Structure 1
Amino acid sequence: MSLPDLSRFYIDGAWVAPVSPARFPLIDPATEEEFGTLALGGAEDVERAVQAAHAALPAFSETTPEERIALLRRILALYEERREEFAEAMRQEMGAPIGFSRKAQAARGALHLNALIEVMERFSFEENGRSGTTRLRHEPVGVCGLITPWNWPINQVVVKVAPAIAAGCTMVLKPSEFSAVSAILFAQVLHEAGVPPGVFNLVNGDGPNVGSVISSHPLVDMVSFTGSTGAGIEVAKSAAPTVKRVAQELGGKSANILLDDVDFTEAVQKGVAACFTNSGQSCSIPTRMIVPRAKMPEVVELAVAAAAKFRLGDTKDLQTDLGPLVNRAQFERVRKLIQRGIDEGATLQVGGLERPEGLEKGYYVRPTIFTEVTPEMTIAREEIFGPVLSILAYDSEEEAIEIANSSNYGLAAYVQSGSLDRARQVARKLRGGQVHINYPSADFHAPFGGFRQSGNGREWGEAGLREYLETKAIVGYHPELSY
């Protein structure tokens, strides 16, 4: 795949040069080799983009839902035509093995667009209030600042950009500088689909020089951020003086309770696979497996055997299961947390600090499993964002729920049981924005977001659309029923 032009931003319907660009080397995490140089912007570029979005808002906010549905369908069709380009871009920029990049990373863009189109086809932007004299209007919130991460690049761009367009908002997108190639490709799709000038704007940059400027800008009505909890706190602080809406999808440390009546062979194998999804670089994956103490020897044997099946290697190879971590900083951070687990007394069953055999280059981390983990240990509390599973023991169902809910996070939770009724009862007690029973398929209409330090607001489906809408009540709308 030939790279798109990395030296320009997309502002007001055109590809423009940054005012005073900085240069950022793009490194393939599988080879540690530079494959491109990205231009990073600053406050002046953000100002141009915000002004363009502000100027485009009056006209775009008055488009009909039918017009916006047609626009989304054109975006979907063009995205599908170029899906392989997106898969290759994400393979190179953030290290997703090509098979996973095709089946999961690139596929999710289309899945979310399809789900949103279904929502739009039945959503009412106007409706009567209960009194009969009041009309309720769901109107676009305005200019939106969208800040997305590197771990699911297109997934996170689409779940912000698409509902913003569907709602009639205009926007400025700042993708992660580590995954900007796929974002630039998506900007090309939007341009070709006929998104009006100024509705969508793309400015590449880092958090301090672009992200904070977007989140603090007085003409930005809403900022939607996905990333670490620490960065989310800074976004909220920047946004506070202008009292704009802030939606955040932050970190996670999701628990996976295996009840004593489950098929442990299947439950452990699927739990290990879920934890290692995207090389462990997913905020909602089950990184804490909570199992009956009496079953611990069996669970350890099953988990170690499951981990041994994962193949690390060339991201171009369809046989590769796990790719590298996204960059050197993340590689070093995960290794430090593995060392912390060892130092604090957890038992390392498999994996660890050594590089995988035959992979002297690339930010690869061995699939790692710890047992004898207690809830107060660092590896049980902090989001690691690597292929590291902590297995904790419980003596009663109540204790399992208590351990699961002891985290400061609350993005997702998982429960496995041979009894659906029992699993449902436990699910109701778990503090998480999404609770998964017996490893279900993904539901792209289900609201996605967290409790506590995992953020606020929801994405995906109708809930994601509503994040970009304000509700206006027009009281006395029906003159014949007025006082």
Structure 2
Amino acid sequence: MRNYPDFYIDGRWTPARDGTVYDVIDPASERVAGRITLGTPGDVDLAVAAARRAFNRYSLTTREERLDLLERVLTEYQARESDMAAAITEEMGAPQWLATQMQAWIGRAHIETAIAALRDYRFEEQRGPTLVAKEPIGVCAFITPWNWPVNQIACKVMPALAVGCTCILKPSEEAPFSAQIWAEIMHAAGVPAGVFNLVNGTGPVVGAALSRHPDVDMISFTGSTRAGVEVARDAAPTVKRVHQELGGKSANIVLPDAPLEQAVSQGVKSVMLNSGQSCNAPTRLLVPHDARETARAAAAQAAAETTVGAPGSNAAIGPVVSEVQWQRIQRLIQCGIDEGATLVAGGAGRPEGLETGYYVKPTVFADVTPDMTIAREEIFGPVVAILEYTDEEDAIRIANDTVYGLAAYVQSADLERARAVARRLRAGQVSLNYPDLDMNAPFGGYKQSGNGREWGEHAFGEFLETKAIIGYDK
């Protein structure tokens, strides 16, 4: 069993000042997998002070010095990548193949992307007599979630380090093992003392202390919209920059000219990936009204083909992260039934033969209307809602009829048509015909899905202030 009682502050492992022990549950077995200590505002004060001292030195480093540091981080990450995958499987139930091929891999990919972006990034630009300089914003606090744990750590920490910021990480207490290994990687890579710090804890205590802290210049949060509102409220009195990547209820428009069965099947399976625990999952499947029967049959078949099992079983999906999450998903599945949607696959309860562990049946609802709860609330589980539209205008209207705007998807045999529809969707990222992952594509949302962007060089700007030096060249 893992035991991580200390925090990483100012380049060394530091005992908690007065924290309580927290049991981390393995969602596949429902047994205790390890223990961490929950931090206090006093621990936050120590970490912020260390980051503030380090910023005075680190912000003055050269591009070449930071490139050398990031390359060392990459080397150490590669040496620990299998350990990272094992930790992610244990803490949040990701199947071993997913933890290895996607969860741990994407952490490395973000490091590589940050290195490539830093090589050519323009920190200064002269416009007439004025020099426009981009300088590190300062001390950054990161609150990260449990669903793609190292992805969210890496896509925040690496751009911050690349541009000269220092940081404090508060990972999810539900999935802290990967963050511990990340801190060990930072230490082994020789990240200067205070440049990276780790304090475990809950959102209402450690997260709130970071958000409110007057010596934190920026707070970057990934999680629910509800929690994001609290972060912004806590940060407001100090007028710090607030960057948020929040909830989603992404529409997947299958246009009439798309290969229907293939588009529907691929859409359903993309929702099921990671047990539906992805904020950008295409959970609202929009299909032409006259193709509804074919669509629901294809969706039901795709759900039936989605195997559920223990993380080491090579199943397509494992458990969801916790009992709280499992209960929420069950409530929303029952809500879909109660409100009159047609259950065409899955449903309430655990899959047959999986009485232990937080497993959810791959579920598909048809006859869903835009006003139903399952069409409006983020479920964060392996649940797809099929909605029908009459024409293209109706599809666009339904897709945009949401408080969220993180992602959207369009399927069409006519690329120009797909492009035209994409331009009218109010979402921060639109994917056409299930493209490959682009590590340089900006990631972030419109409306209540947040503000700012992550991934690639677009993330750099979130950690920079702009300074105009007028009269620089008379």
Aligned to 2:253: 257
Q: Show structure 1 runs of 4+ deviating over 4 A.
A: none
- In the alignment of these two chains, the number of paired residues is 474
Q: Determine the C-alpha separation between the residues in 2 that align with 1:81 and 1:466.
A: 30
Give the 3-state SS of the residue equivalent to 2:368 in structure 1.
coil
Structure 1 residues 43-442: aligned runs within 5 Å: 43-129=41-127, 132-317=128-313, 319-442=314-437
Gaps of 5+ in 1: none
Q: CA deviation at 1:64?
A: 0.5
1:456-471 alignment runs, 5 A limit: 456-471=451-466
**1:438 & 1:35 partners in 2: Cα distance?**
40
Cα distance per residue 1:119-166 (max 9 Å; x no partner): 11110112212xx21111110000001100000000000011111101
Q: State the AA in 1 paired with 2:416.
A: D
- C-alpha deviation, 1:23, in angstroms: 1.1
SS at match of 1:179: coil
Measure, in 2, the Cα distance between the counterparts of 1:421 and 1:42. 54
Shift of 1:277: 1.6
C-alpha distance in 2 between matches for 1:450 and 1:437: 17
Secondary structure in structure 1 of the residue aligned to 2:431: strand
Q: Secondary structure at the match of 1:286?
A: coil
Residue of structure 2 aligned with 1:33, choices 31, 34, 38:
31
One of 3, 10, 13 as aligned partner of 1:12? 10
Q: Residues 25-83 of structure 1: CA distance to partner in whole angstroms, max 9, x if unpaired?
A: 01100010111111111100000000000111110000001111111111111111111
Please list the CA deviations of residues 359-397 of structure 1 after superposition, one character each: whole Å capped at 9, or x if unmatched: 000000000000000000000000000000000000010
SS at match of 1:472: strand
* Paired amino acid for 1:42: T
How far apart, CA to CA, are the structure 2 residues paired with 1:392 and 1:91? 34
3-state DSSP class of the match of 1:178? coil
CA distance in 1: counterparts of 2:125 and 2:329, whole angstroms: 50
Q: Report the alpha carbon displacement of residue 348 of structure 1 after superposing the two structures with TM.
A: 0.6
1:455 corresponds to = 450
| Partner SS state of residue 19, structure 1 | coil
- Partners of 2:455 and 2:354 lie apart in 1 by 37
Query: How far did 1:269 drift?
Result: 1.2
Q: Distance in 2 between matches of 1:11 and 1:73?
A: 22
Q: Distance in 2 between matches of 1:453 and 1:65?
A: 35
- The one-letter amino acid of 1:346's match is A
Instruction: Give the AA of the match of 2:296.
Output: V
What TM-score, normalized by structure 2, do the two folds share? Answer: 0.99
Q: Which amino acid aligns with 2:208?
A: S
TM-score by length of 1: 0.97
- Matches of 1:224 and 1:277 in 2, distance apart? 25
Residue 465 (structure 1) shift: 1.0
Q: Percent identity?
A: 55
